[in-house]
Structure 1
């Protein structure tokens, strides 16, 4: 990802939230999300990013169609040297076309410094849970909740061994030209 990608990444992320989390996250929260506000937060975060964090974009030649971010696990990982997939979003009209799999394969190919890769997924996001399970992730029993407005939204943690060979998947192609 480059600084010039921030606006496109924000558009993918906001629209991804609004589509994927409808019926899970309170609608008022989703309706209040704007690309401009997300882009401003994302630009500030990008400028101050931990150098151990990696952000990848999938670009179809006309613009960003997907985004993933990963780095060191932000919690306690029970003695594992763990990385964390912080985010993976695909433009909603391209879900199911392989963009997400390509991004995830690229993340897996770049996680050799970790023993395990962890992620948090909304408990009720069945589609995302199936996607991660197909990629070799398994719920490890850890749970937490994020609160949106006054509504707690439960999340479950998934884990898998780090590296591209954990599920036999090959690394993704150059995502700038997905």
Structure 2
């Protein structure tokens, strides 16, 4: 597997990966009615807009299988969105916004490769630490992050923006 920066031409594939991975990963955490209503066509404009901005393309890498050119996963990253990590804290903090790999490609090292490349890019941008948010009950994802050196840092939040609660835990790690 290998990575490359995403382009605007990847928007449809990213929308598909985004939706299909949500539907597989978040079953049991999110109402089935919400998952069933997810539609890649609705996510396409989000990804088109994100990838049209020069800084947006720099913050999205796609995962390509060894035998193809169609992305099977992606990672989105950039400066931390958490106000506690903002200017004046004395430390540049990056954030992994999202990482999704199609279920058929999970467990093959692609997720680890995406995280490694995103952390490398954040470090090159001057970040000394990185954070990410994960669903509290998603033990598989939490184990994945912990194997990669991430640790819960004591911050939690509840996201009610979709009409149902999602409790999240923030993980952090230093960058080389």
What is the deviation of 1:15?
0.6
What is the deviation of 1:51?
5.5
> Which residue in the other structure is 1:19 paired with?
24
- Distance in 2 of aligned mates of 1:150 and 1:65: 29
Is 1:66–1:91's contact at 8 Å kept on the other side of the alignment?
Answer: yes
- TM-score in terms of structure 1 length: 0.85
What is the deviation of 1:115?
1.2
Question: Which secondary structure does the structure 2 equivalent of 1:151 belong to?
Answer: coil
Among 67, 71, 86, the alignment partner of 1:64 is: 71
Q: How many residues align?
A: 163
What is the deviation of 1:120?
0.5
Aligned CA-pair RMSD: 1.7
1:59-98 to 2 correspondence within 5 Å? 59-60=64-65, 61-75=68-82, 76-77=84-85, 79=89, 80-98=91-109
Distance of aligned partners of 1:149 and 1:67 in 2 relative to their CA distance in 1, 3 Å threshold: closer
Q: Which runs of 5+ in 1 are unaligned?
A: 164-178
Indicate whether 1:158 and 2:163 are aligned: no
Looking at both structures, which has the greater relative contact order when contacts are Cα pairs under 8 Å and sequence separation is at least 6?
Answer: 1
1:117-132 to 2 correspondence within 5 Å? 117-132=130-145
Question: Which secondary structure does the structure 2 equivalent of 1:110 belong to?
Answer: helix
Among 21, 41, 48, the alignment partner of 1:43 is: 48
Is 2:50–2:56's contact at 8 Å kept on the other side of the alignment?
Answer: no
Is 1:25–1:148's contact at 8 Å kept on the other side of the alignment?
Answer: no
- Distance in 2 of aligned mates of 1:117 and 1:67: 17
Q: Which runs of 5+ in 2 are unaligned?
A: 1-5
- TM-score in terms of structure 2 length: 0.86
Is 1:90–1:99's contact at 8 Å kept on the other side of the alignment?
Answer: yes
Is 1:54–1:71's contact at 8 Å kept on the other side of the alignment?
Answer: yes
Is 1:9–1:67's contact at 8 Å kept on the other side of the alignment?
Answer: yes
Question: Which secondary structure does the structure 1 equivalent of 2:85 belong to?
Answer: coil
